[in-house]
Amino acid sequence: MNKVSKNTFEYKKDIENDNVREKIKIIIKRDKKYNLRDLSRTLKKNDAYLQQYLFRGTPKILPEEYRHRLAEILNVNITELTPNWLKKFTPDEKLITIKNIETDSRDNNYISISQKLLFDIDFSKLENLFFFQTNTNKGMVTTIVDVGINKYTKPDLYLLSDKNNFFLAYIEISRVNNTKMSIKPYLETFYPFHISSEILKVSGKALWEGSKIFQK
């Protein structure tokens, strides 16, 4: 790309970036319920982040994860917040948005993850999918669970609840007594135990887990 064409491209980029900013300003002005400070906090940024982006041009373009989150909040398609020049370099990738099963966790209520990574998951009942996060000595582990599966089906990782506190555990039929279930908590800081199969209550079944995941 020669100097002239490069300058032209940069000029078009700046125009298209400004157009996205103007779209966001119009939406926020039209719908009085939005507040720049609160929106910035939702993106886990400082209170002035969106103020600086919209009126000072810093950053020049919102990172992808913030654009997806903002598009969801403003109820617009992500393409509305993506400048045309960037669309040429951005793969057409469908993201699935999933809510935190611990609904009182205000800091991290949603995650978005590529559907390609979840190729073996049935999305026909997306409302049954939630995510749960576990702090381990090796870092945070994110697990996607299906609350539509609320009983033991086979030896596997399940989500259980103890006094409204969720935890993951590997469950299988006891090898000593087939009327009881062997429960091995995911975290090694908790001891394994047995429980009658009749009183076992399952909150969901783990479908997928990963230690690094794009969060909203």
Quick one: which H or E segment has residue 129?
A: strand 129-136
d(CA 28, CA 69): 15
pLDDT at 93: 59
Count CB atoms within 10 A of the CB of residue 145. 25
pLDDT attached to residue 67: 84
| Residue 27 host element (H or E) | helix 3-30
Summarised one tens digit per residue, pLDDT across range 130-172 is 999 888 887 788 899 999 999 999 999 999 999 889 999 999 9
* Dist. CA 138–CA 182, nearest whole Å: 25
CA distance 26 to 74: 11
| Number of helices (H), then strands (E), in the chain | 5, 9
pLDDT of residue 89: 59
What's the predicted TM-score (pTM) here?
A: 0.57
Instruction: Note whether 147 and 101 are within 8 A (CB).
Output: yes
Q: Domains plus CATH for the chain?
A: 3-87 (1.10.260.40), 95-210 (2.10.109.10)
Both tokens assigned to 215: 């969060």
d(CA 95, CA 68): 9
* Mean pLDDT split into 10-residue runs, the chain, 216 residues: 59 84 88 85 88 90 82 81 72 72 67 73 86 84 93 96 93 94 94 95 91 43
Q: Which is nearest to 99 in space by CA: 147, 43, 167, 45?
A: 147
Phi first, then psi, for residue 72 (nearest 5°) are: -65, -45
